Structure 1
Amino acid sequence: MPRYCLALDLKDDPTLIAEYEKYHEKIRPEIAESITGAGITQMEIYRIGNRLFMIMETTDAFSFEEKAAADAANPKVQEWENLMWRYQQALPMAKEGEKWMLMKNIFQLS
């Protein structure tokens, strides 16, 4: 089962960070459906300061490109993404329009 790790920053404002966390206590059902429907079987988000770290486990058939296309065509997901962008900011090295950035695995204890 593939595992992906991604990073993103929040705006460094305690009030906004608290609101963002509140939204994630119970996400909207249609957002959860878009996640699981894309082949994501497990997802966790961790925070330190204003840095977010996401761990995703997926089916072998999962595709970032297919997930992005499905999200772009889903008005509820777009509404959620626009709302979340109020709290988020791109990492300093992100390209224009890039949000969650895939992290490179540099060590694994086997």
Structure 2
Amino acid sequence: MQTFILICDLKDEPEAIQAYVECHKSVSPEIIESIRIAGIVQMSIHRWHNRLTMILVGDENFSFEKKAKLDESNPKVQEWEAFLGQYQTNLPGTPANWRWAMTEKIFEYTAD
């Protein structure tokens, strides 16, 4: 298994934040299926104010390249991403078309 942590910012507007939260209360089966097919076995999104953190666990075959290719050919995913994009902003230093940014692990503790 592979674990990735990504971050994204929402527009700092109460209406945008609430709309983003609401649309994640009932994600369509087509979107859930696209996540599963890509090799993602667990995904959660957490929010603090307008900052989002995604914890993504992929199987041994998961790659962001594979996920991007699958998403490009899926009209439902394209529609979902465009819809969500209206609530998101770009993090400083990211390309104009990239809203989620990968974090770098700098510390880890595991109990004996």
Which category describes the TM-score, using the shorter chain as reference length? over 0.9
Distance 1:40 1:18 in 2: 26
Aligned-pair RMSD on alpha carbons? 0.7
After superposition, where does 1:1-110 map in structure 2 within 5 Å?
1-110=1-110
Residue 15 of structure 2 aligns to a residue whose secondary structure is helix
Distance 1:52 1:96 in 2: 18
**Shift >2 Å, 4+ stretches:** none
Distance 1:17 1:52 in 2: 10
The superposition leaves residues 25-53 of structure 1 with CA deviations (integer Å, 9 ceiling, x where unpaired) of: 11011000000110000000001111100
Residue 60 of structure 1 aligns to a residue whose secondary structure is coil
The Cα shift of 1:96 comes to: 2.6
User: Which runs of 5 or more structure 1 residues have no equivalent in the other structure?
Assistant: none
Identity of aligned residues (%): 45
Q: Which amino acid aligns with 2:15?
A: T
The Cα shift of 1:90 comes to: 1.1
Q: Which amino acid aligns with 1:104?
A: E
User: Which runs of 5 or more structure 2 residues have no equivalent in the other structure?
Assistant: none
- With the length of structure 1 as denominator, give the TM-score of the two structures: 0.97
Q: Which amino acid aligns with 1:24?
A: H
Give the paired residue count: 110
The Cα shift of 1:99 comes to: 1.5
- With the length of structure 2 as denominator, give the TM-score of the two structures: 0.95
The Cα shift of 1:70 comes to: 0.7
Distance 2:74 2:89 in 1: 22
